[in-house]
Structures are given as structure tokens and as C-alpha cells.
């Protein structure tokens, strides 16, 4: 692992940490270079100190002239580092301190509590052009951690070194050996103070478009994606210049997102090659819409390509530009403007979406993407340009986070009862709009919809009724069916729409074609769910394009999505 500090607030005036300043720094069992080496530490990583005591070198300063510091490496495991290889960073453990420097005064004026000052001032000393903006969440720290610790909201690798970061009481898992994290695990990754290092501060970098950086975008993008297989496959098609055309968000951030989502190899090549049967020419460079529940049911390839077809991401340029526009509209432009806020939605434009609408379930995800961004800025000598970091601030952050006897604090049925209905629907692979459930395809069995909804969490239940109000448990769903979703927050009834099935018989056939044709001619009326079903193109109009799509669906040459 690239880090080892556990969330811990000391009952002392200061919190002491060391920043590693040399690559390959040795961590040893004792205060001498002849003692057993535990591991090597990476440059710019931070570690908590047992104390700020400087221990004399047992080899008479033969290889460590300043002495040794005792640091916490794993939980309950300590080691010693040579003071020549680290820099001591101290900050206030309580957020009631008085500034003692201009940097601390500036940060206090900006809204940062004193426990943030040590790490941020250390960064500011090296990077004068960096700007730190405090984003006040107006949330109690313990409350925010509790809400993010709900079973099923986040996942972490089961092999993580610190087993106190795992929650055995939550049995939900995610593909790839991911399991539920404990409150302490969630608190570690949510606490901004654990990431005030050059490598990990980039998870707070504002991802908005910056026209002043336009000239550096192409080569920076190239350096990000050059080591990947998808770059090799598409470099002759101008993929670098295409990404550089993005204006709805930072092209650098989007290039980092693409690489992080697709990886360097070919494991997800079906999403970027554009040759998968029945999805030729469609691309999903951002792995967008590939939810855990969808992957469990259909696999990553079909989930990603179905979403690409739904958004009409046909062709490389359309997929990259429109994909970035979708991410920007869904996240960056509604207050989730950093990797951190895309993972932890704490200050949304719509307060009802707080703790929902989160880009990923991978708990360390922002840290991983931050490392990619940092490496890119270093490689392109961009660390000294003006960069804006938006960093969350909570109330009472000195409140200790302790795992309960049952692991993460949960509400009834694994804590998923407090998820709003819209989020349950989108998490299940369907979509929600103005009282309608969308995304059900022709010949979808009602049991599949019910199971997908209920799979999001044990406290969710779904009941489906046909147009006559009779509860059905099997058979093809049709436009006009009702689904009632309930959890501990209450219940909500929605009308199901099957795009193309305007007649409501569960099939896309000549009757639907006739109804749409007569509607266009002005001799027939379509209302409510039927009018939405008659608009398979999704442009808000019932016209010749919809007629053509329904006709091609009937002929088997097109699939309405």
C-alpha cells in the first residue's frame, strides 16, 4: 500500500507527522542502519510519528547524522526512519489554535481549521502558485462518516493491510475481491488531512475547464495516455487532439479518468475497440454507467456498451466529447467538481442527493486517480502553474471515530433503507424521470426488474402491477405497468415505460408503428407513458425518426435502447 496512517486524533496539542523527502527511504526496526529493514518508503508519502523525539544513531552517526524518528507504519506496528530522509510536519490536533505565521493566518481567513494548517502550509512553501479553497460542508464529522459507512455504499480490497478498516458485519461484496469497509476505514479516506502530500492533494483539484491552459493540453494528454493499449489503437485517429477538444471539463482530468477507468492493458478492450458484435462503432471510454449490480447480471462489456448505445456514443470523437459532457453535467457542473466530491457527495447543489449520486463505490478511488494526475503534472513540469484545490471542511473533526461492536453503524437491513428511490433505481441499472421508470427493454421479465431493484439493498422491496392493477411476478413487462418501491423511508409508485411499446402490450410490433404514424398525421392521440414510449429516440418529439427506429426494431436491424 502507498500509505499507512490510520485515522487517529491525539489528545495532545500537536499532531506530528513526517514527510518522506527521498525515494527508497529505509524503514528499520531500530535506530541504526545495521538493524533489520522493514520496508522502503516512497518519496512524498506522510506517516504519523509516535512522538517527535529524535533518537541518537546507534552506529555513532555513521550513516544517519541527524538521528532517527519513530513512526507508525502499520496499525500497531512501528519503525524508525533516518531524520536525513524526512521532514517533520506538525499541525494542531484541536481546531482552536491561533495562527503563528502568515500562511496559517491566510488559511484561517480562507476557512480552514487549524488541524489543516501544517500540511497545507508545507505544500504552500514548495508550491507558491497553488490556491487552497475551503469548502464548508456544514456537516458534523462523525455524522458524515456514519452516513458514508452505510453497508453497500463503499467497498475496499479485502487484502488491505489494516484489518480494522474492514467491516465483517456487512456481507455485501463487489467484483474484484472488494468488501465493505468499517467506519475507521471510511474515516481514513474521507479525512482530507491524510492526503496533504504532493501525490494525493490532486484528488481535490478543481476539474473545471481552464482556457489559460489550452496550449499545454495536447502534450499533457499524450503523456497521460501514451502508456496504454487504447492509445496505441487510436493514436492514428487523433485521440489526443479529440480529448484536447473537451471544453465542458478539464481535458487533463478527463484523460486521467479515461486511463484510470480503462487501465493500461486490454482487459476492457471491448469498451474501446468498437468492434463488439451488435455494438460495432460504439465506445465507452469512461466506463460510464457500469454499476456493480449491472456487472453482476450482464458483465462489464455489455453494461458499458449498452450504456454507450443508450447515449448514442457512436464514433470515437462523439464518445469522448459527449462522454465528458455527460460527466461534467452530472458532476462537475453541479458541485462535484473534484475526484473527492465525485466519490463523496457532501455539498451537492440539491441537498436531497447528499451521500448519493457518487461516481464510484471504490473507497480509495480518489487517491488512485490523484496519483495519476500527480505523475502527469510532474512529467510535464506543471507543478508550478496556478492550480486551484477545493478541500472539504467538517465540524468537530477532533471527534474520534471508533468502530461499533458490529462494524459500521447501520440502519435496519444493512443500512440501505435511507437511500432515496431515484438512487435505488439508477443503482439497479434503470433510470428515473418524473414518475417514470425507464430502461426496461422489450421482453424484459417483471421478475428481472423486481430482482434488480431489490438487489440494491436488503431493505428495498418492489411490487409490480399490470394495467388492471393486478400484481404480477412473471411475464414480459409492458408500458403502463406500475412498480411500487418501498424501504424504511417510505414508498413510491412509478409507471414503467418500454421504449417503442406505445400500445402497452409488451411487444414492439405493427400496432405501435401504426399508432406513431397516426400520431404524426394528427389522427391519433398518445399521452403519458404511451407518448414517452413512442419517442424511442429520446429527443422529446414523436416524429419520423421514432417511426424509423420502431420499424427497424421490428425488422431486426436496430435495437431500441
Q: What is the DSSP string of 419-442?
A: S-HHHHHHHTT-EEETTEEEEEPT
Is 326 in the same domain as 344? no
Q: How many CB atoms lie within 10 A of CB 64?
A: 23
Q: Are residues 319 and 362 in the same domain?
A: no
Q: How many domains are contained in the chain?
A: 5
- What the block records as the C-alpha cell of 273 is 475497440
* CB of 431 closer than 8 Å to CB of 494: no
Q: Residue 123 domain-assigned?
A: no
Cβ atoms within 10 Å, residue 130: 18
Most confident stretch, 70-79, 91-100, 288-297, 469-478: 469-478
Q: Does the residue 403 lie in any domain?
A: no
End-to-end CA distance of the chain: 42
pLDDT interval class at 271 (50, 70, 90): very high
pLDDT band at 38; cut points 50, 70, 90: confident
- For the cut 90, the answer to whether the pLDDT of residue 332 exceeds it is no
pLDDT band at 352 (very low <50, low <70, confident <90, very high): low
Does residue 448 lie within any of the structural domains? yes
Check whether 482 has a pLDDT greater than 90. yes
pLDDT recorded at residue 502: 94
CB 512 within 8 A of CB 436: no
Last residue of a domain, one of 337, 359, 376: 337
Longest dimension (CA), the chain: 98
Q: Is 6 domain-assigned?
A: no
Residues 215 and 304 in one domain: yes
Q: Are 229 and 266 in contact (CB under 8 A)?
A: yes
CB 207 within 8 A of CB 253: yes
* Confidence bin at 420 (pLDDT 50/70/90): low
Position 10 pLDDT exceeds 60: no
The whole-number pLDDT of residue 415 equals 34
Q: What is the signed CA dihedral for 399, 403, 408, 411, rounded to 10 degrees?
A: -70
Beta strands in 441-552 (DSSP E): 461-465, 482-487, 490-498
Label residue 92 exposed, middle or buried (CB < 10 Å: 0-12, 13-18, 19+).
buried
Q: CA torsion 428→264→229→216, rounded to 10°?
A: 100
Report the C-alpha gap between 458 and 463 in whole angstroms.
15
Considering the domain architecture, whether residues 219 and 294 belong to the same structural domain is answered as: yes
Average pLDDT (40-69) is 82
pLDDT at 350: 65
**279 in the same domain as 369:** no
Indicate whether 113 belongs to any domain. no
Q: Is the model's pLDDT at 403 over the cut of 70? A: no
Distance of CA 206 to CAs 98, 99, 188, 209, Å?
Answer: 29, 27, 22, 9
Q: Quick check: helix, strand or coil at residue 92? A: strand
Does 427 map to a domain? Answer: yes
Q: Which of 45-59, 62-76, 467-481, 486-500 has the highest mean pLDDT?
A: 467-481
Average pLDDT, the chain: 84
CATH of the domain at 33: 2.30.30.40
46, 66, 93 - which closes a domain: 93
Closest CA to 454 of 152, 174, 198, 21: 152
- E-assigned strands of 396-489? 431-433, 436-440, 461-465, 482-487
Query: 234, 254, 223, 218: which is closest to 316 by C-alpha?
Result: 234
Of 156-165, 226-235, 533-542, minimum mean pLDDT range: 156-165
| pLDDT digit string, tens, across residues 141-196 | 989 999 999 888 899 888 776 677 888 888 888 877 789 999 888 988 899 988 88
- The answer to whether residues 326 and 377 belong to one domain is no
Residues with Cβ within 8 Å of residue 545, at least 6 apart in sequence: 537, 539
Buried b (16+ CB within 10 A) or exposed e, 318-347: bbbbbbbbbbbeebbebbbbbbbbbbbbbb
pLDDT tier at 408 (50, 70, 90 boundaries)? Answer: very low
Instruction: Specify whether 314 is located in the same domain as 353.
Output: no
Instruction: Note down the domain range covering 50.
Output: 14-93
Give the predicted TM-score (pTM) of the model.
0.59
Which of 498, 519, 553 is the C-terminal boundary of a domain?
Answer: 498
Give yes or no for a contact between 25 and 41, defined as CB atoms under 8 angstroms apart. yes
Report pLDDT digits (tens) over 372-388.
788 878 887 888 888 99
Q: How confident is the model at residue 240 (pLDDT cuts 50, 70, 90)?
A: very high
C-alpha to C-alpha distance for 316 and 319, rounded to whole angstroms:
5
Q: Which has the minimum average pLDDT: 120-129, 201-210, 244-253, 433-442? A: 433-442
Tell me: pLDDT of 82 over 70. yes
CATH of the domain at 511: 1.10.1330
Please say whether the beta carbons of 404 and 296 come within 8 A. Answer: no
Instruction: For 14, list phi and psi in degrees, rounded to 5.
Output: -120, 150
Does residue 125 sit within a domain?
no
**pLDDT tens digits, 152-162:** 889 988 877 66
Q: Count other Cβ atoms within 10 Å, centred on residue 501.
A: 30
Regarding whether 346 and 332 lie in a shared domain, the answer is: no
Interval 58-85 mean pLDDT = 82
Is the domain of 162 the same as that of 217?
no
* pLDDT for 13 beyond 60: no
Is 44 domain-assigned? yes
83-92, 280-289, 374-383: which has the highest mean pLDDT? Answer: 280-289
CB 198 within 8 A of CB 350: no
* Helical segments of 26-110, H only: 102-110
Cβ neighbours of 495 (radius 10 Å): 18
Q: Are residues 237 and 285 in the same domain?
A: yes
Nearest by Cα to 201 from 209, 210, 193, 211: 193
Pairing of strands 178-179, 436-440: unpaired
Q: Is residue 2 very low, low, confident or very high in pLDDT (cuts 50, 70, 90)?
A: very low
Listing DSSP states for 177-198 in one string gives TEE-B-HHHHHHHH-GGGG-ST
Average of per-residue pLDDT across 240-244: 97
342-365 average pLDDT score:
81
Q: Average of pLDDT values for 379-401?
A: 86
Shared domain for 236 and 173, answered yes or no, is no
Listed in sequence order, the DSSP H helices in 245-330 are: 251-262, 292-298, 300-310, 316-330
In DSSP terms, which residues pair with 493 in a beta bridge? 484
pLDDT of residue 515: 95
**Predicted local confidence at residue 453, as pLDDT:** 79
Predicted local confidence at residue 4, as pLDDT: 35
Q: Do residue 450 and residue 489 come from a single domain?
A: yes
Highest mean predicted confidence (pLDDT) among 14-18, 285-289, 507-511: 507-511
pLDDT at 256: 84
What is d(CA 124, CA 103) in angstroms, rounded to the nearest whole number?
8
H/E stretch holding 417 reads: none
Q: Is 280 exposed, middle or buried (0-12, 13-18, 19+ CB in 10 A)?
A: exposed
Amino acid at each position: 500500500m502507498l500509505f499507512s496512517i490510520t485515522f487517529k486524533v491525539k489528545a495532545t496539542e500537536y499532531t506530528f507527522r513526517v514527510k518522506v523527502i527521498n525515494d527508497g527511504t529505509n524503514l528499520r526496526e531500530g535506530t541504526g542502519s545495521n538493524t533489520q529493514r522493514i520496508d522502503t518508503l516512497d518519496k512524498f508519502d506522510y506517516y504519523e510519528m509516535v512522538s517527535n523525539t529524535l533518537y541518537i544513531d546507534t552506529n555513532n552517526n555513521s550513516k544517519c547524522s541527524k538521528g532517527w524518528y519513530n513512526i507508525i507504519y502499520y496499525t500497531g506496528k512501528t519503525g524508525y526512519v533516518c531524520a536525513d530522509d524526512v521532514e517533520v510536519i506538525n499541525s494542531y490536533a484541536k481546531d482552536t489554535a491561533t495562527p503563528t505565521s502568515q500562511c496559517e493566518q491566510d488559511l484561517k481567513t480562507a476557512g480552514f481549521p487549524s488541524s489543516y494548517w501544517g500540511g497545507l502550509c508545507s505544500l504552500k512553501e514548495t508550491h507558491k502558485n497553488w490556491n487552497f479553497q475551503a469548502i464548508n460542508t456544514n456537516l458534523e464529522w462523525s455524522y458524515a462518516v456514519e452516513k458514508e459507512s452505510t453497508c453497500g455504499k463503499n467497498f475496499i480490497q479485502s487484502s488491505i493491510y489494516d484489518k480494522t478498516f474492514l467491516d465483517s458485519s456487512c456481507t455485501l461484496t463487489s467484483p474484484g475481491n472488494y468488501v465493505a469497509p468499517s467506519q475507521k476505514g471510511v474515516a481514513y479516506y474521507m479525512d482530507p488531512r491524510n492526503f496533504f502530500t504532493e501525490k494525493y492533494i490532486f484528488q481535490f483539484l478543481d476539474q473545471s475547464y481552464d482556457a489559460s491552459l489550452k496550449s499545454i493540453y495536447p502534450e499533457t494528454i499524450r503523456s497521460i495516455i501514451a502508456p496504454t493499449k487504447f492509445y496505441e489503437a487510436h493514436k492514428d485517429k487523433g485521440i489526443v487532439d479529440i480529448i484536447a477538444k473537451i471544453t465542458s471539463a478539464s481535458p487533463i482530468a478527463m484523460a486521467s479518468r479515461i486511463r484510470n477507468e480503462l487501465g493500461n492493458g486490454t482487459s476492457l478492450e471491448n469498451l474501446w475497440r468498437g468492434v463488439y458484435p451488435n455494438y460495432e462503432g460504439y465506445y465507452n471510454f469512461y466506463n460510464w454507467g457500469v454499476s456493480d449490480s449491472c456487472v453482476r447480471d450482464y458483465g462489464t462489456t455489455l453494461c458499458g456498451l449498452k450504456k454507450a448505445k443508450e447515449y448514442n456514443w457512436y464514433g470515437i470523437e462523439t464518445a469522448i466529447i459527449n462522454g465528458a459532457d455527460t460527466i461534467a453535467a452530472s458532476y462537475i457542473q453541479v458541485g462535484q467538481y473534484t475526484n473527492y466530491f465525485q466519490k463523496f457527495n457532501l455539498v451537492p447543489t440539491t441537498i436531497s442527493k447528499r451521500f448519493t449520486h457518487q461516481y464510484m463505490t471504490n473507497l480509495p478511488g480518489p487517491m488512485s486517480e490523484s496519483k495519476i494526475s500527480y505523475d502527469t503534472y510532474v512529467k510535464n513540469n506543471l507543478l508550478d502553474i496556478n492550480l486551484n484545490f477545493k478541500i472539504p471542511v467538517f465540524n468537530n473533526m477532533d471527534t474520534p471515530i471508533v468502530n461499533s461492536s458490529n462494524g459500521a453503524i447501520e440502519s435496519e437491513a444493512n443500512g440501505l433503507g435511507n437511500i432515496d428511490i431515484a438512487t435505488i433505481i439508477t443503482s439497479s441499472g434503470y433510470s428515473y424521470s418524473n414518475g417514470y421508470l425507464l430502461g426496461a427493454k422489450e421482453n424484459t421479465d417483471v421478475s428481472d426488474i423486481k430482482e434488480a431493484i431489490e438487489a440494491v439493498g436488503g431493505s428495498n422491496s418492489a411490487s409490480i402491477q399490470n394495467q388492471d392493477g393486478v400484481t404480477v411476478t412473471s411475464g414480459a413487462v409492458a408500458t403502463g405497468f406500475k412498480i411500487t418501491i418501498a424501504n424504511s423511508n417510505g414508498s413510491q409508485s412509478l409507471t414503467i415505460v418500454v421504449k417503442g411499446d406505445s400500445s402497452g402490450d409488451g411487444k414492439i410490433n405493427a400496432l405501435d408503428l401504426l399508432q406513431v404514424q397516426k400520431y404524426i398525421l394528427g389522427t391519433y392521440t398518445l399521452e403519458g407513458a404511451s407518448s414517452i414510449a413512442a419517442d424511442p429516440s429520446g429527443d422529446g418529439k414523436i416524429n419520423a425518426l421514432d417511426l424509423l427506429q420502431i420499424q427497424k426494431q421490428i425488422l431486426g436491424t436496430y435495437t431500441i435502447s
